[in-house]
């Protein structure tokens, strides 16, 4: 029931996803009287859907703590519980991000060895696609958090982007070893240690994200959130300026007619629906957050991310990686300033 | 002598700047035998230039601490000293950023009431231009640093962009009061206090930068550096995709011919040379850093920023603002987690 156009885009998205994943089964949580008419038009999907009726739902402006306390019968919580109980393999929601994170963390619990969850997504780059995390789950992170994020991002890139040996970088203000704060420098020391099962490439600067300098870019939730939104804002500015340029003269409008199909391809390449589906990593279960304003195609892509994670054994691979990371002797990170 | 094409672009840039500021006088520091031939071709500029010969210069890879210790006779240091001694009103360099910052901080000293310098620049937005700081001078900042940055950014926007009452925002991961880390929340409390001479608009998210949500965006040097470089990288990605789209088919190439002049206008609007000139704020003197890879036009723009700051009384206005800020009673910022 979450997002701007639920349950419409959720049901239509499931229908698109079923074409891609013909073996999928869906459990849909929400107001049956609103879901049933949508399914009536999609008989193939209807065969694969079980509706679990509930009137209760989490609103977009609900505080996470409030949702956690009072939303036990909400559609969001029941869907998460289905994963916790083993009735479902993964949960996908277009609802309130903070509430989804809080309830998923509570009901699914953290994977042993992970201190904090992270939010990850993938983005277009000059070389293809890259994974960026954390996108805002943790505004303050220490070196250990960043090392765990690096491992989770590595496994995410392997299972969802299908990369065999993803390259991993830490977002920083320069590429030299001495650059940055204690957290990134400490994480770099640990990631360079022998035996770490990660192809660590060192520090990456902001322009390295879109350049595709590495497959996985690791940062704290404050910086990651700002970076993603800055990139979105810049893309919007560029699109706006481009539109204005094409409307500038009769000649330019004429040019637009000829270039139209090429420009449509450009738009498709940067289509945010292609990159829909932020993932909560570090939980003992698969939980994917769709953008609230996406359409059916975007929602289907978010379902696709969840299916890829399940089918390619995301949780099992994280567990294996964590045990390898546990074998690495912890280096003593020298503090940069004296403490008394 | 700094940057990729010195002293060539410096001298040619000064020549362009002289057309805009006919009363300007220049003191040029560097290797006379390389500067003299360039001036020979620019007689108008030659009348306004005094060359101060030195063979010593700071290389692009010199460490700031090393430059500070051993670069006392370098062209960069002598140019800064001219400002410190009152022989010049401002210094502009395309050289090593870290060395310039370290030497300027040492020779010009900080303004009383400012704890740390910040680096600021302006950027294109959907509404015109905005100022962003800190771009990387301080990787870790507390609430007081951010409040001082807000004041400096406000005065910078007034003196260089000519705004009468700039709006100021703090970069954060959400717009609600509870969002973010201790530093941004503490700074917001102080900036909202009555009597603060700043038009504070609250928190701004990453996409607000390019949208032009506020005239001045304040953040720590880690986040600011990542944001600026992420925006640059995204713009480059977009340009690359656009180029590819226009080369995609014969029709598209044909369209490009018609739209060519409109697209040139788009490029001009986003031309990095227009936004050249990062400023070190918080020093008791005017010091502007030009991009090392810019050309004469870009360098002239950096000179323009320095002239605007001088002519419009930047330092005097900062001093006045600081004394007003000093009158505001300091609120007790409650720490978010207990300290023992």
Query: What DSSP assignment string belongs to A264-286?
Result: HHHHHHT-GGGG--EEEESBSSE
Distance from CA of A147 to the nearest CA of B (A): 19
B89 lies in the same domain as B150: no
Binning pLDDT at 50, 70 and 90, where does residue A271 land?
confident
Contact B256 A251 (CB under 8 A): no
Lowest model confidence (mean pLDDT) among A128-132, B26-30, B172-176: B172-176
Question: Are B246 and A259 an interchain contact pair (Cβ–Cβ within 8 Å)?
Answer: yes
pTM for this model (two decimals) = 0.89
Give which of A104, A120, A110 is closest to A221, Cα–Cα: A120
Do the chains contact at A230 and B248, CB–CB below 8 Å? no
pLDDT digit string, tens, across residues B274-298:
888 899 999 999 999 999 999 999 9
Q: How far apart, in whole angstroms, are the C-alpha atoms of residue B120 and residue B114? A: 15
Instruction: Give the pLDDT confidence of B44-75 residue by residue, as tens digits.
Output: 999 999 999 999 999 999 999 999 999 999 99
What residues of A are in contact with residue B223 (Cβ under 8 Å)? 222-223, 226
Q: Which residues from A are below 8 Å from B136, CB to CB? A: 173
Domain membership of residue A171 (yes or no) is: yes
CB contact under 8 A, A257 and B255: yes
As given in the structure block, the two tokens for residue B67 are 């430059």
The residues with which B92 forms a beta bridge, in sequence order, are B288
User: In whole numbers, what is the pLDDT of chain B averaged over residues?
Assistant: 91
- Statement to judge: residues B211 and B146 lie in one domain: yes
Query: Given an 8 Å threshold on Cβ–Cβ distance, is A236 in contact with B207?
Result: yes
Within this chain, do residues A133 and A277 fall inside the same structural domain, yes or no?
yes
Query: Rounded to an integer, what distance in angstroms lies between the CA atom of residue A312 and that of residue B168?
Result: 47
Q: What is the distance between the alpha carbons of residues A285 and A278, in angstroms, rounded to a whole number?
A: 14
Q: How many CB atoms lie within 10 A of CB A339?
A: 4
Which of A125, A233, A263 comes nearest B207 by C-beta? A233
Chain B contact set for A235 (CB, 8 A): 234, 238
pLDDT of residue A170 exceeding 90, the answer is yes
Distance CA A311, CA A303 (A): 12
With H, G, I as helix, E, B as strand and everything else as coil, classify residue A15. helix
Say yes or no: A146 and A103 in one domain: no
Can you tell me the distance from the alpha carbon of A319 to that of A328, in angstroms, rounded to the nearest whole number? 15
Number of separate domains in chain A: 2
Query: Is A340 within the bounds of a domain?
Result: no
Nearest to B297 by CA among B13, B42, B11: B13
Which has more confidence, A159 or A326?
Answer: A159
Question: What band does A327 get if pLDDT is binned at 50, 70 and 90?
Answer: low
Give the mean model confidence (pLDDT) for residues B114-124. Answer: 93
Same-domain check for residues B224 and B89: no
Q: Whole domain around residue A20: which residue ranges?
A: 1-112+284-293
The residue-averaged pLDDT of A170-182 equals 91
Give contacts of A257 with chain B, Cβ < 8 Å: 255
Interface test with A, best of B229, B246, B248 (most A CBs within 10 A): B229
Statement to judge: residues A96 and A213 lie in one domain: no
A133 plus A236 within the same structural domain:
yes
Nearest to B20 by CA among B301, B290, B295: B301
Q: Do A265 and B245 touch (CB under 8 A)?
A: yes
Distance of CA A113 to the CA centre of its chain: 21
Contact B228 A206 (CB under 8 A): yes
pLDDT at A330 > cutoff 70: no
In a domain, A183, yes or no: yes
pLDDT tens profile B248-276: 778 788 777 777 777 787 778 778 788 88
Contacts B142 to A, Cβ<8 Å: none
Q: Do A234 and B229 touch (CB under 8 A)?
A: no
Residue A242 has pLDDT above 50, yes or no: yes
- Both B257 and B121 in a single domain? yes
Query: Which residues in chain B touch residue A136, judged by CB atoms under 8 angstroms apart?
Result: 173
Q: Are B210 and A230 in contact (CB under 8 A)?
A: yes
| Mean of pLDDT values over B318-340 | 59
Same domain, B86 and B121: no
Task: Tell me the residue ranges of DSSP E strands in chain B.
Answer: 26-30, 49-53, 90-93, 118-125, 128-133, 167-171, 199-204, 216-218, 278-281, 286-289
State yes or no: pLDDT of B111 exceeds 70: yes
pLDDT for res A339: 33
State pLDDT tens for residues B298-310. Answer: 999 999 999 999 9
pLDDT score of A336: 37
Last residue of a domain, one of B228, B245, B276: B276
Q: Does residue A246 belong to any structural domain of this protein? A: yes
DSSP state of A110: B
Q: Does the pLDDT at position A235 exceed 80?
A: yes
> Average pLDDT, stretch A200-223?
97
B48 located within any domain = yes
Average pLDDT value for residue range A184-197: 94
Residue B174 shares a structural domain with residue B253: yes
CATH number at residue B98: 3.40.718.10
CB pairs under 8 A between A and B: 200
A316 within a domain of the structure (yes/no):
no
Check whether the bond before B134 is cis (ω within 30° of 0): yes
CB contact under 8 A, A206 and B233: yes
> Same domain, yes or no, for A136 and A249?
yes
Give the residue, A180 or B243, on which the prediction is more confident. A180
Together in a domain, B107 and B143: no
Summarize the confidence of residues A328-336 as an average pLDDT: 45
B223 part of a folded domain: yes
Which residues lie below 8 Å from residue A68, measured CB to CB, with a gap of 6+?
A: A99, A102, A103, A106
For residues B115-147, b (16+ Cβ closer than 10 Å) or e, as one string? Answer: ebbbbbbbbbbeeebbbbbbbbbbbebbbbbbb
Domain-embedded: residue B324: no
Report the percentage of chain A scoring pLDDT > 90.
Answer: 75
pLDDT, mean over chain A: 91
Position A331 scores a pLDDT of: 45
pLDDT of B328 strictly over 70: no
């Amino acid at each position: 029931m979450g997002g701007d156009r639920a349950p419409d885009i959720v049901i239509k998205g499931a229908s698109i996803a079923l074409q891609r994943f013909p073996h999928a089964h869906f459990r849909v949580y929400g107001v049956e009287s609103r879901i049933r008419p949508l399914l009536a038009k999609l008989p193939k999907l209807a065969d694969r859907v079980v509706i679990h009726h509930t009137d209760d739902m989490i609103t977009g402006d609900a505080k996470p703590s409030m949702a956690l306390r009072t939303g036990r019968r909400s559609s969001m919580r029941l869907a998460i519980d289905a994963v916790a109980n083993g009735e479902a393999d993964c949960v996908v929601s277009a609802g309130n991000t903070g509430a989804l994170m809080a309830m998923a963390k509570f009901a699914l619990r953290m994977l042993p060895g992970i201190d904090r969850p992270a939010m990850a997504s993938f983005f277009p780059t000059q070389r293809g696609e890259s994974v960026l995390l954390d996108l805002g789950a943790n505004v303050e992170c220490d070196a250990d958090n960043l090392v765990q994020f690096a491992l989770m991002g590595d496994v995410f890139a392997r299972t969802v982007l299908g990369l065999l040996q993803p390259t991993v970088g830490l977002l920083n203000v320069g590429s030299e070893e001495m650059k940055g704060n204690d957290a990134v420098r400490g994480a770099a020391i640990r990631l360079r240690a022998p035996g770490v099962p990660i192809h660590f490439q060192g520090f990456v600067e902001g322009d390295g994200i879109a350049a595709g300098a590495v497959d996985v870019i690791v940062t704290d939730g404050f910086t990651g959130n700002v970076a993603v939104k800055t990139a979105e804002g810049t893309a919007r500015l560029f699109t706006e300026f481009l539109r204005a340029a094409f409307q500038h003269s009769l000649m330019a409008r004429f040019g637009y007619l000829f270039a139209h199909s090429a420009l449509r391809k450009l738009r498709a390449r940067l289509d945010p629906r292609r990159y829909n589906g932020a993932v909560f990593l570090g939980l003992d279960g698969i939980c994917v957050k769709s953008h609230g304003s996406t359409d059916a195609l975007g929602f289907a892509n978010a379902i696709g991310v969840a299916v890829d994670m399940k089918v390619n054994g995301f949780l099992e691979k994280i567990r294996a990686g964590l045990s390898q990371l546990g074998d690495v002797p912890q280096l003593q990170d020298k503090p940069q300033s004296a403490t008394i």
